[in-house]
């Protein structure tokens, strides 16, 4: 009986283990000084790498993101050491850079609900099944 209790306690402790995973870029410790000397996109790509995303509208901004994901067993995932590097680019030149850390970033709570689509048709599984009859050609006909 004691062995079973120890095994259960061990499993509970293993389930509550703390683990940190790094997400995104691994920025150097002297990020501010390195970025201050960057003047072209080629230098930026050599120092930091390709951006995770670029803006589509307005000024072209290259975005780099880094965070530590903390796993605490059954508890919700938390993030810390968040860093965002924004680089405004015009042509092949870096016009402006900005580095944001944890305190500069707002915490955004995502809604748990789903956004309704206007005029959407809600079908259950049976309706979906019968609705698809005749929509697909037999295999091998290449249509």
Dump pLDDT digits (tens) for 52-88: 888 888 888 999 988 888 877 777 778 888 888 888 8
> Within a domain: residue 63?
yes
Alpha carbon of 5 to those of 9, 11, 124, 138: distances in Å?
Answer: 6, 10, 46, 58
Query: First vs last Cα of the chain: how many Å apart?
Result: 66
Q: What is the mean pLDDT of residues 30-43?
A: 87
Residue written as token pair 């995973």: 21
Query: Do 23 and 67 touch, CB atoms closer than 8 A?
Result: yes
Q: Which domain holds residue 67?
A: 28-107
Q: What's the structural domain count of the chain? A: 1
> Within a domain: residue 8?
no
| Percent of the chain clearing pLDDT 90 (strictly above) | 3
> Within a domain: residue 70?
yes
> Within a domain: residue 75?
yes
> Within a domain: residue 10?
no
> Within a domain: residue 83?
yes
pLDDT over 80 at 16, yes or no = no
> Within a domain: residue 59?
yes
pLDDT over 70 at 28, yes or no = yes
Dump pLDDT digits (tens) for 81-111: 888 888 888 888 888 888 888 888 787 787 7
> Within a domain: residue 40?
yes
- Cα–Cα–Cα angle for 59, 48, 20, nearest 5°? 110
Query: Do 39 and 87 touch, CB atoms closer than 8 A?
Result: no
Residues 6+ apart with CB under 8 A from 83: 27, 31, 65, 66, 67, 99, 100, 101
For 9-13, 32-36, 43-47, 107-111, which range has the lowest pLDDT when averaged over its residues?
9-13
């Amino acid at each position: 009986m004691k062995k079973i209790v120890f095994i259960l306690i061990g499993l509970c402790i293993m389930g509550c283990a703390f683990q940190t995973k790094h997400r995104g870029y691994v920025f150097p410790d002297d990020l501010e000084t390195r970025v201050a000397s960057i003047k072209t996109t080629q230098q930026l790509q050599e120092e930091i790498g390709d951006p995770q995303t670029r803006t589509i509208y307005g000024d072209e901004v290259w975005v780099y993101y880094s965070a530590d994901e903390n796993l605490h067993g059954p508890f919700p995932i938390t993030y810390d050491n968040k860093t965002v590097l924004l680089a405004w680019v015009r042509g092949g030149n870096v016009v402006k850079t900005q580095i944001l850390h944890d305190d500069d970033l707002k915490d955004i709570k995502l809604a748990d609900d789903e956004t309704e689509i206007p005029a959407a048709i809600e079908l259950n599984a049976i309706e979906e099944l019968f609705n698809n009859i005749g929509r697909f050609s037999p295999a091998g006909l290449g249509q």
